[in-house]
Amino acid sequence: MEFRLKKLLSLINLKLDKVLMIGINGISGIGKTTIAKAIYNKISYHFQSTIFLTNVGENSRGHHLNLPQFQQLLDDASIGTYGRTKNKRVLLVVDDVDRLSQVEYLVKLRDSFSLRSRIIFTTRDRHLLNVAKLDASYESKGLTHEEAIHLFSWHAFKQTFPKEDYVGLVNHVVGYVKGHPLALKVLGSSLFGKTITEWKCILHKLRKNTHGEIYNELKVSFDGLTPTEQEIFLKVVCLLKGKDEESVSTILDSLGLGSESGIQVLHDMCLATISNNKLYMHDLLQQMGQKLIDENNPHEPSKRSRLQDSKDVYPRLTRNTGTEEIQKIQFSSAGFLKMPKLYSLMHLPLKSLPPNFPGDSLIFLDWSRSNIRQLWKDEYPRLTRNTGTEAIQKLLSPMHLPLKSLPPNFPGDSLILLDLSRSNIRQLWKGNKSLGNLKVMNLSYCQNLVKISKFPSMPALKILRLKGCKKLRSLPSSICELKCLECLWCSGCSNLEAFPEITEKMENLKELHLDETAIKELPSSIYHLTALEFLNLEHCKNLVSLPSGISKLEHLKSICLCACSKLKSLPPTPGRWNI
């Protein structure tokens, strides 16, 4: 790694007094992201502003990130708007660029950075490097034999060299994988603690599959999982990649799968990673999982539990050949027939759902970046508990809906997670609504959300996200009725001028994020947040004072006040606070 870093560092040339753009390319799993992160950590302190955007090509669960979405992503990171970085030395690293338009935008963006800024991006497409007019490029190659031995041994033996009795077997594995880091990690983890006999059995399986595909090495780890762990892996492949850890746990628990132990096993087996509180899976592992699904009844797609390809989906829905086994459908069609176990429907290019849509067992509905104009043309079908089906409707995620508000008859009795982030919604339900089982609500980056007149009844809600709702000016006083609320995010609500009076105790709220808002002061009743541990007020440029009642918060450990330029004094602060 040190040799590779030294080579890349020479291309970055920190002393050169100009803006440089460097590309890193290589095949999937070869270590592009690893070396990009390593160089980012090594040189970050040289720059005034540093941003690392991960998995750009996978930002929307398999959808390619188009240019407007890419621009929005950079803008959310305070990079994309011209002038913000004109006088700053910026380090911007963009991982997994997959479109020419994205590269062209980065080229254009470099003019807004000050001298000695650096833009680095990784890609699997060598062609993008050729057309990008880069200052330098670096090809990420496989590990040397010695490096491969060290990496594999670390995962197989928890040390950097093989055990004496295993040396020959290790050499066979390393020779087969040919320096591919991901395959070395996954295979090593799957062989940890195994006997020599078990090693030989697994190596025999690898040799028997002579296709030379990485798929064969990766599948060994999948085969070593329990049935429940395999199901969790496939759930991540199809539904959960890129979701935050809390939502993943909520979803898996609602499906009767052990979330905490299951996620930990995938992490320990190098089949999934957790970064910035989100669950990720490498492209190759996801492709392997999709291939496993396709291999289930390869010649009769209607008998598979999950359909992912439109060429398989369309005949099932137009020729009345769907079956009870289908649990997940991706893409779209004009009808939904004979699928009583259907629990997941994703990425619909439809304007509405048909009246005969079988919603009794639906637990996951994702309309991200769809063309849908309304939910159901007439009344919604009943999406409530149905004892005649195995699944219960618990999760609805209709993201990016062009709706102005959700209608009164919108189903919600069994919802556990409601995600309307980045939608066109302007307000929530008109009238009263009860969401008795809802635990997570995400309204982040709803740019047209102007007001929340009253929260619906949500007695189980734990997490409420309102990040980046720039037109939102106030919160309703009914927020005090969210008795189970543990975390409230209002970061980046730049027009939010006040926090409501807290008229009764909120005994579970531990985190309150009000950074980058227009808040001038906090309510004097803040002492009713009896469980508050973390308060974020960074970059609240209008904040003038803090109420004296804040000193009564016995559990408050940390308060962030960076860049609160109008704040002149503080009330008496306990010594336990980290300010």
In this predicted model, what pLDDT tens digit does every residue of 268-283 receive, in sequence order?
A: 877 888 888 888 887 7
Contact present, 303 and 297 (Cβ < 8 Å): yes
User: What strands, in cross-sheet order, belong to the sheet with 328-330?
Assistant: 306-307, 328-330, 344-346, 364-366
Confidence check: pLDDT of 29 > 90: no
Is residue 336 classed exposed, middle or buried when 0-12, 13-18 and 19+ CB atoms within 10 A define those classes? buried
Is residue 6 classed exposed, middle or buried when 0-12, 13-18 and 19+ CB atoms within 10 A define those classes? exposed
Closest CA to 19 of 118, 120, 129: 118
Q: Would you state the pLDDT for residue 358?
A: 47
pLDDT band at 539 (very low <50, low <70, confident <90, very high): very high
By mean pLDDT, which of 86-90, 360-364, 485-489 is the weakest?
360-364
Q: Nearest 10 degrees: CA dihedral of 551, 552, 555, 558?
A: -20
User: What angle, rounded to 10 degrees, do the helices at 145-157 and 181-191 form?
Assistant: 30
Q: Would you state the pLDDT for residue 376?
A: 38
Distance CA 532, CA 525 (A): 13
Helix, strand, coil in percent for the chain, rounding step 5: 35, 15, 55
At a CB cut-off of 8 Å and minimum separation 6, what does 196 contact?
A: 165, 166, 169
Handedness of CA 179, 185, 189, 190 (dihedral sign): negative
Site of tokens 């996951």: 364
In this predicted model, what pLDDT tens digit does every residue of 240-251 receive, in sequence order?
A: 888 888 888 887
Confidence check: pLDDT of 562 > 60: yes
Q: How far is CA 85 from CA 54, 67, 101, 107, 114, in A?
A: 20, 20, 21, 15, 7
Q: Would you state the pLDDT for residue 511?
A: 94
At a CB cut-off of 8 Å and minimum separation 6, what does 430 contact?
A: 405, 407, 408
Site of tokens 């291939």: 291
Contact present, 517 and 543 (Cβ < 8 Å): no
Contact present, 43 and 70 (Cβ < 8 Å): no
Distance CA 336, CA 317 (A): 6
Distance CA 521, CA 501 (A): 11
User: What strands, in cross-sheet order, belong to the sheet with 463-465?
Assistant: 395-396, 417-419, 440-442, 463-465, 487-489, 511-513, 534-536, 558-560
User: What angle, rounded to 10 degrees, do the helices at 181-191 and 196-208 form?
Assistant: 140
Contact present, 364 and 343 (Cβ < 8 Å): yes
Confidence check: pLDDT of 555 > 50: yes
Q: Would you state the pLDDT for residue 329?
A: 44
Confidence check: pLDDT of 108 > 90: no
At a CB cut-off of 8 Å and minimum separation 6, what does 111 contact?
A: 19
Structure-model confidence comparison of residues 404 and 118, the more confident one: 118
Average pLDDT of span 306-310: 50
Q: Would you state the pLDDT for residue 537?
A: 94
Q: How far is CA 236 from CA 31, 127, 241, in A?
A: 22, 31, 5
Confidence check: pLDDT of 153 > 70: yes
User: What angle, rounded to 10 degrees, do the helices at 167-177 and 181-191 form?
Assistant: 150
Contact present, 192 and 158 (Cβ < 8 Å): yes
Contact present, 427 and 405 (Cβ < 8 Å): yes
Distance CA 174, CA 144 (A): 10
Q: Would you state the pLDDT for residue 93?
A: 92
Number of other residues whose CB lies within 10 A of the CB of residue 396: 25
In this predicted model, what pLDDT tens digit does every residue of 372-393 receive, in sequence order?
A: 333 333 444 443 333 322 333 3
The terminus-to-terminus CA distance of the chain in angstroms comes to 38
Structure-model confidence comparison of residues 76 and 501, the more confident one: 501
Long-range (24+ apart) CB contacts under 8 A made by 553-561 are 553/526, 553/527, 553/529, 554/530, 555/510, 555/530, 555/531, 556/532, 557/533, 558/533, 558/534, 559/534, 559/535, 560/515, 560/535, 560/536, 561/537
Query: Which tokens hold the place of 391?
Result: 């699944």
- Give 397's DSSP letter: B
Average pLDDT of span 66-92: 63
Contact present, 364 and 345 (Cβ < 8 Å): yes
- Give 549's DSSP letter: G
In this predicted model, what pLDDT tens digit does every residue of 469-509 receive, in sequence order?
A: 999 998 988 899 999 999 999 999 999 999 999 989 999 99
By mean pLDDT, which of 70-79, 110-119, 201-210, 239-248 is the weakest?
70-79
In this predicted model, what pLDDT tens digit does every residue of 183-234 receive, in sequence order?
A: 888 889 989 999 999 998 888 877 665 444 567 767 877 888 889 999 999 9
Distance CA 31, CA 57 (A): 16
Confidence check: pLDDT of 37 > 90: yes
At a CB cut-off of 8 Å and minimum separation 6, what does 152 contact?
A: 162, 170, 173, 174, 177, 184, 185, 187, 188
Q: Would you state the pLDDT for residue 128?
A: 83
Confidence check: pLDDT of 317 > 60: no
In this predicted model, what pLDDT tens digit does every residue of 284-295 receive, in sequence order?
A: 788 788 888 877
Q: What is the DSSP string of 85-143?
A: TTTS-EEEEE-----HHHHHHHHHHGGGSPTT-EEEEEES-HHHHHHTT-SEEEE--PP
On average, the pLDDT of the chain sits at 76
pLDDT band at 316 (very low <50, low <70, confident <90, very high): very low
Structure-model confidence comparison of residues 9 and 88, the more confident one: 9
Share of the chain above pLDDT 90, in %: 27
